[in-house]
Amino acid sequence: MRSSIIALITDFGTEDGYVGAMKGRILTLNPSARIVDISHEIPPFDVRSGAFCLFNSYAYFPEGTIFVVVVDPGVGTRRRGLVLLSDRHVFIGPDNGVFSLILKEERVQAFRIREEQLPGEISPTFHGRDVFAPLAAWKGAGQSIATYLEPVGNPESFWEDPKELDAGKWQLRVLHIDHFGNIILNLRRKDLPASGANIPRKLEGKDFVIQRYLKTFGEAGEGELAMMWDSSGFLQIARNQGHAAETLGARVGDPVILTLGASSK
Amino acid sequence: MRSSIIALITDFGTEDGYVGAMKGRILTLNPSARIVDISHEIPPFDVRSGAFCLFNSYAYFPEGTIFVVVVDPGVGTRRRGLVLLSDRHVFIGPDNGVFSLILKEERVQAFRIREEQLPGEISPTFHGRDVFAPLAAWKGAGQSIATYLEPVGNPESFWEDPKELDAGKWQLRVLHIDHFGNIILNLRRKDLPASGANIPRKLEGKDFVIQRYLKTFGEAGEGELAMMWDSSGFLQIARNQGHAAETLGARVGDPVILTLGASSK
Amino acid sequence: MRSSIIALITDFGTEDGYVGAMKGRILTLNPSARIVDISHEIPPFDVRSGAFCLFNSYAYFPEGTIFVVVVDPGVGTRRRGLVLLSDRHVFIGPDNGVFSLILKEERVQAFRIREEQLPGEISPTFHGRDVFAPLAAWKGAGQSIATYLEPVGNPESFWEDPKELDAGKWQLRVLHIDHFGNIILNLRRKDLPASGANIPRKLEGKDFVIQRYLKTFGEAGEGELAMMWDSSGFLQIARNQGHAAETLGARVGDPVILTLGASSK
């Protein structure tokens, strides 16, 4: 039995022991599992934040890593449970959009979890412990879980592509606000044409215009705002040693207009 | 030497390195220990929250797991340090009620820690690092710790049983408020008679009456309040995608009157 | 390949997946690494807090432990990346003072990281993932990282020694405020003369005078303030079951005058 990595993302916080129950369950069913905490501090019910957290980390994990993502406001309703297989990784969690960015980036085989086939009692309020954790544990132990799966199409996604309004003018949206207040937009560098007028020149939001384009925070003066490519390739607005989102009053979903140019000013 | 699991619950937060010191100590004394974080975010000095967190997670852990629970406002006073042995698990921490729910649920052998017998210096303010962590490390490594233990009776407990006021009418108390705002009461499903008038019909608090009884959050309309059995079997008041405790102004310890009926309405 | 311990301290929080990316990277490059979370809750950009957290925990870890400390407001600027070797441990992170307390306590060999020699792309905003994590992974796997290192002098330090104002009168500063509100000062017990007038008698801050000197919190009445030696040997002001720093309005860097005496009152 190889020592599989099971990486966890939840919005549970840790203080009630819900995460502990999941870890205990995994270790009971798969004693050699290597549990890795990615985060338990996703804001409660915030599926978009969970999706971002997963996207920002998953690609760096070894082949075979199993991600269990439990941001699950619809637990106990008819929302489906999913297992997604990419060529390198396994993703387990609710079908509520939390895998939106994975679906955009990876080709996956998608399966619905047949909860009714699972042994044991299933709490209607805690599928993290009673559905997702056991499947991850068994899968990690090399056992087949095929009997609990059924191929399925069209997993939920909230992803919205940037919209070209005009030549070189795009409507973006705020995808995420991170711990440091960086405002991350739904455009990745690799989604732009490789050459030509593909340099960000201007970002216009409700109450701001940013025209400074830099490589990193540190090139800005203290407190200065600038746009730059973030470490996952998304366009972001950052403030050197400050909190850009508070400064600009930006919120997830806000529209922002990007103007591209032939070269940086 | 088998690879023991040592699971940690503290109110230390992580940012000062106190938890790090405990982990370092454990790994130095027992290099093959598998440390599992349950939580370090118990509210400071909140013994009841620590007890709930432990109770919500411990039963899912493999046999032999050692739980180190350090919510310890009385460190350095005459409060005793405890080691409790149930038939499957080991519990180590201060004798201040943090094991109340374990004591209600499990038959345990209880021992006082003879700190005066421990080798090395013991900081009067940090028994987590200097008393509990070493004992857990040695125990996990299969070494006898008997010389540091003395049988003892009557560990502290804050647990209060529900009180029957009248036939089918019970006075409960708020046991815990969780991360999502669920109000968890001190009554478990299995403590009710198995048949007859054992269906929750009404919960009356200081400023609220709840008469809706559901199986899960998702059956409620958005924002609706309802009572249901939680994933550990406690009766709870939950609000679909909302924070029940804030909505109702509920606090730990508040009395709540439960009326049972013969069937759900 | 031995199973190395790689201990992490960051100011990233966990919710964006940045810490996850670092963990994934480490496990990909060194599958047998044992990752230990010390903290990801250092306040954003707070180098002094990161330094304290590291200092409070490092000494308890086994020989060979590699500490990766990423509190890095200057990432992407010309600030150097460092690898420090003490006789027992390895420290990796930015040269911005985060190793100040290690430098005071340990003899180290210091090296600058030659980022330009590293394989692969390096994000200018995320050296934690692209520079420090890989070096830690390789070092932990027993590979030489010498080719990426260059001996260097004078790593940054913010440490300031206590100043003797008069016989038995010292100007201290607030070094850290911990999770419980304890006010930790920049004086360690072992830095005082072993005998003579070396008992703390009085601490005078801007708006307070403390004259009570105790061994532990628990000797004080509830809510009472006192000075005592903390679990790492620093002089601290603590309030029994309360938050001393809020009570006294103390902040990191504030001056505090200590008077020593021949014996405790």
Report the C-alpha gap between B48 and B9 in whole angstroms: 12
Share of chain A above pLDDT 70, in %: 98
Is B184:B52 a contact under the CB 8 Å cutoff? yes
Contact A231 C15 (CB under 8 A): no
Most confident option among B240-244, C49-53, C165-169 = C49-53
Mean pLDDT of all residues belonging to chain C: 94
Closest chain A CA to residue B218? A77
Given A18, A45, A73, which is nearest B56 (Cβ)? A18
pLDDT at B78: 86
Distance in Å, alpha carbon of C135 to nearest chain B alpha carbon: 21
Given A15, A24, A28, which is nearest B179 (Cβ)? A15
SS3 B117: helix
Mean pLDDT of all residues belonging to chain B: 94
Contact B57 A20 (CB under 8 A): yes
Q: Give the DSSP letter of residue A51.
A: H
Is B63:B94 a contact under the CB 8 Å cutoff? no
Chains with 3 or more CB pairs closer than 8 angstroms to B?
A, C
Sorted by where each starts, the structural domains of chain C and their CATH numbers stand as 5-151 (3.40.50.10790), 163-261 (2.40.30.90)
Q: Which residues have a Cβ under 8 Å from the Cβ of B75 and sit 6 or more positions away?
A: B94, B124, B125, B126, B127, C216, C217, C218
> Is 60 exceeded by the pLDDT of residue A99?
yes
Strands C109-113 vs C81-85: parallel, antiparallel or unpaired: antiparallel
For residue range C197-219, list pLDDT tens digits in order: 889 999 999 999 999 999 887 77
Q: Give Rg (Cα) of chain B.
A: 20
**Cα→Cα distances A158→A45, A48, A68, A163, C142, Å:** 14, 8, 19, 15, 44
**Nearest residue to C10 (alpha-carbon basis) of C128, C113, C180, C112:** C128
**Nearest residue to B124 (alpha-carbon basis) of B68, B81, B69, B66:** B81
Confidence class for position B217, pLDDT limits 50, 70, 90: confident
Question: How many A-C residue pairs are in contact by the CB < 8 A criterion?
Answer: 117
Report the C-alpha gap between A96 and C15 in whole angstroms: 18
Residues of B in contact with A10 (CB under 8 A): none
Closest chain C CA to residue A39? C14
Is A214:A220 a contact under the CB 8 Å cutoff? yes
Is C247:C237 a contact under the CB 8 Å cutoff? no
Given A17, A31, A125, which is nearest B38 (Cβ)? A17
Buried b / exposed e over B187-201, threshold 16 CB at 10 Å, is bbeeebeeeeeeebb
Q: Which residue carries 């669920």 as its tokens?
A: B182
| Distance, C-alpha B9 to centroid of its chain | 10
Tokens, residue C44:
């954003």
Is B260:B198 a contact under the CB 8 Å cutoff? yes
Residues of B in contact with C7 (CB under 8 A): 20, 23-24
- Read off the pLDDT of each residue in B138-158 and give the average, rounded to a whole number: 96
Contact A57 C124 (CB under 8 A): no
Report the C-alpha gap between A189 and A229 in whole angstroms: 7
**Cα→Cα distances A140→A35, A62, A123, B13, Å:** 11, 13, 23, 31
Contact C62 B27 (CB under 8 A): yes
pLDDT at B192: 87
Tokens, residue C66:
């590699």
Q: Which residues have a Cβ under 8 Å from the Cβ of C195 and sit 6 or more positions away?
A: none
pLDDT at B147: 97
pLDDT at A2: 54
Q: Which residues have a Cβ under 8 Å from the Cβ of C133 and sit 6 or more positions away?
A: C22, C25, C26, C29, C68
Contact C23 A241 (CB under 8 A): no
For residue range A34-68, list pLDDT tens digits in order: 999 999 999 999 999 999 999 999 999 999 999 99
pLDDT at A177: 97
Q: Give the DSSP letter of residue B240.
A: T
pLDDT at A188: 94
pLDDT at B63: 97
Interface probe with B: pick from A28, A125, A131, most Cβ of B within 10 Å: A125
Chains with 3 or more CB pairs closer than 8 angstroms to C?
A, B
Distance in Å, alpha carbon of C75 to nearest chain A alpha carbon: 6
**Nearest residue to A231 (alpha-carbon basis) of C9, C27, C118, C129:** C129
Beta bridge partners of residue A173, listed in sequence order: A255
Residue at C85: amino acid letter: L
**Nearest residue to C110 (alpha-carbon basis) of C83, C131, C90:** C83
Question: Would you give the end-to-end CA distance of chain B in angstroms?
Answer: 57
Residues of C in contact with A23 (CB under 8 A): none
pLDDT at C1: 42
pLDDT at C222: 83
Closest chain C CA to residue B126? C231
Provide the phi-psi class of C94: left if phi over 0, else alpha when psi is between -120 and 50, else beta. Answer: beta
Report the C-alpha gap between A95 and A75 in whole angstroms: 10
Contact residues of C toward A, CB < 8 A: 12-25, 27-28, 31, 35, 37, 44-45, 73-77, 79, 123-126, 129-130
- Read off the pLDDT of each residue in B147-153 and give the average, rounded to a whole number: 97
Residue B171 backbone dihedrals phi, psi, to 5 degrees = -95, 115
- Please tell me the total number of residues recorded for chain C in this structure: 265
Confidence class for position A265, pLDDT limits 50, 70, 90: very low
pLDDT at B220: 81
Contact B60 A15 (CB under 8 A): no
For residue range B105-123, list pLDDT tens digits in order: 999 999 999 999 999 999 9
pLDDT at B2: 54
- Read off the pLDDT of each residue in B216-241 and give the average, rounded to a whole number: 90
Given C37, C61, C178, which is nearest B16 (Cβ)? C178
Given B49, B57, B62, which is nearest A21 (Cβ)? B57
Tokens, residue A62:
């070894």
Cα angle A6-A10-A13, degrees, rounded to a multiple of 5: 120
**Nearest residue to B225 (alpha-carbon basis) of B191, B181, B257, B177:** B181
| Distance, C-alpha A236 to centroid of its chain | 16
Contact B53 A24 (CB under 8 A): no
Given A12, A18, A27, which is nearest B5 (Cβ)? A27
pLDDT at A262: 83
Interface probe with C: pick from A91, A179, A219, most Cβ of C within 10 Å: A179
> Is 80 exceeded by the pLDDT of residue B253?
yes
Report the C-alpha gap between C172 and C184 in whole angstroms: 10
**Cα→Cα distances B46→A210, B15, B252, C79, Å:** 47, 18, 11, 42
Beta bridge partners of residue A239, listed in sequence order: A225
Residues of A in contact with B14 (CB under 8 A): none
Residue at C259: amino acid letter: T
